[in-house]
Structure 1
Amino acid sequence: MSPSFLREPLLHFLLLGGVLFGLECWLTPTAAPTQNIVLAPETLNELAGNFTQARGRSPTQEELSELAVRWVTDEVLVREARELKLAQGDDVIRNRLASQMRAVVQHQSPLGEPSRDELERFFQAHHNAYDTPAHYDLEQRFVAGGLSEAKELAAQWREQIAPAEWPQATTSLRHRPQSNVVAIYGELASAALLREPYNWQAVATQRGAQVARVTRVYPAQSAEFEAVRPRVARDWQRAEQQRRIAAEVARMAQGYQITAPPELPQTVADAIAHAVKSEDAR
């Protein structure tokens, strides 16, 4: 005869509850704890320093934000790659891990051929990238005596009172876009040169005083879709691939607590927040 306490309804209820609880725990996997990703100010400074060393100038706020987003994106991909054991037993650098993970994402979401409508929409959205900008021919001469002498020489040459060695003493620059003109002469001087083409002007540059002028203007040309369609198709594929990778990284990032310390610029923090936000929440 069994003991009386085994026949108690309360005991049966507790035992059944324990079995159901154990079964639920077995069937429902425990959620992985949220991992923290922190972009420290010293890391951002290192990214900016590498950019400066490579480009010879400091990054703009937009470029700094892009560097920060890339670092966070790579960190998410690196951790996901390690979860997939892509680097098991191999202490490879994080850039290689991130590249491996990007390849995994691309393989999971192969691109099909874009339709003509998709390409035309992409072309219209990025029309400026396919237009041929205005180009310029210029000639210049460095002046050893500084800006004051350059102003005197420019005034003489505007009146066609030039020394015998001119124009042999000048250097010609051909088919230069505006961005290159700005890089050579600076914002203010290039604006003056392009505003008054064909007129000699004295300009102060980082390399010294010069007399310079625009000798020919090649007008900008608007691109026709059919003429650049192969290039548009290549650009669409790259952009769509990057969009899909960004969307997948944003989905992965939901499993991480990504922190931008208050010491970071707000533009950087905003860029990171936008990059890790899912497409549905944008």
Structure 2
Amino acid sequence: MTTDHSRSSSAKRASALRSLLREPLVHFLFFGLAIFAVLAWRVPPDDPASRTIHLTREDQARLSVNFAEVMGRPPTAAELDALVARWVREEVLYREALRLGLDEGDAVIRKRLAQKMDVIAASAADAQTPDDATLARWLRAHPDRFAQDMKLTFDQLYFTGRSRAVVGRTLIDGGADWKKVGDPVSLPVHFEEASHTTVSSEMGEEFTRALERLRPGKEWQGPVESALGWHLVRLTAREPGVVPPLSAIRARVEDDWRAETARQREDVAYKTLRDAYKVRIDK
């Protein structure tokens, strides 16, 4: 009976897979992505300094694939024409902006390009799927990050923007009275032996997880982001609680492993690039 049931389940899954593979949209996405991947590897991008814009069939396939991923269907001929016209407009304006040097001295563009380089370096971590053994080692290496009923004692200063928090930390490091630094907000400045639940309810889950990764000490750390803004934190004590089994918190452990792995890849990639530069800083 069990064998017949297993064969029936396998037959149903195989039938469902065959039905899915017969879907035109699946074929379209598969072949479109394949073409885009091959051509992205083989064809160099157009020179931004050139006055010739060449939109290949492969470029059009990429636009079609992007459209289909969002809309769930291939574009019509009219929609593809509109996509092409929009792409040409953006390319013209992009090249002219480069020609006029509008990218130079623009802090926003500079930061955005730097972030994209970090994303490229870290992307390999997103493609990896860690097995249970990897996550079990990670949990053993970082139990404080996942312990329940952990007690945290810390001071925090709030800032409306990251740049303000950076300036605030510079002031504190320079000897300024920390109680006079920070933007006004209706949040506690001091937490004494507060649980994960207490901190999370006041400051948000994102902030709490980031806080649990900091090292206790007397120095101010951050900026640390929360749903409300940015914070400087002085974590003076952390008392670990009970660490749940991996099976109960697997998703959380994997998220933490992936985030840390991505940061490590960013650092390695930056060091490799940095070693190729000579930097002179005038005094």
Taking structure 2 as the reference length, the TM-score comes to 0.30
Which protein has greater RCO, CA pairs closer than 8 Å, 6+ apart? 1
User: Computing the radius of gyration over CA atoms, which structure comes out larger, 1 or 2?
Assistant: 1
* TM, length-normalised to structure 1: 0.30
